[in-house]
Amino acid sequence: MNNCNLSIVTGPSKGGKSLWAEKLLKDADTVLYIATGSSESNDNRWKDRIQIHKNRRPSHWNTIETARNLNDVICQTDNNVSILIDSLGGYVLEHLSRSEIEWKRAAFSLKNSLINTKTKVVLVVEEVGWGVVPHTDLGNIFRDRLGELSQELQHHATTTWLVVQGRAINLSLIGIEIND
């Protein structure tokens, strides 16, 4: 395990991941909230979800939207600022059209940014593998890339939380790591 200060919060949709991630940083003086999903959408349900998240966050937290430049933002953030990234799926989606080689470079770059930053990072990760198996190539690529990158990052995390039905379980304490 690396010496980075990364916490992963994972679980199914609407399980409470974002709320738990926010609670993990409730005592931080300065937080940069990085939303990887765009607020520019015609989907009213998506807009409502974003508004719920915005209303819940402390007003002194800074928020930016980015998925493509996530590595740069992490590397340029002051060490005294904690980072909440919501979520890894937005990053994967932003890079979905890339070739496998380009994706591996992007994933490696993100992993290095997260491992080498000195600041505390809480990363929200969707567990899409628990749902319906996608019937499209893109859906399967998304699911596989998200799952693989999530597992790689978990090896470096100081804590990994599973949030299901509004309950947070510390997998770092009770889980047994499976190695090849």
Active site residue ranges: 53
Structure-token pair, residue 143: 């699911």
Q: Find all residues with CB under 8 Å of 57, minimum gap 6, and list them.
A: 22, 33, 63
Say how far apart CA 35 and CA 165 lie, in whole Å: 22
Q: Is 65 exposed, middle or buried (0-12, 13-18, 19+ CB in 10 A)?
A: middle
Say how far apart CA 76 and CA 28 lie, in whole Å: 18
Residue 81 three-state SS: coil
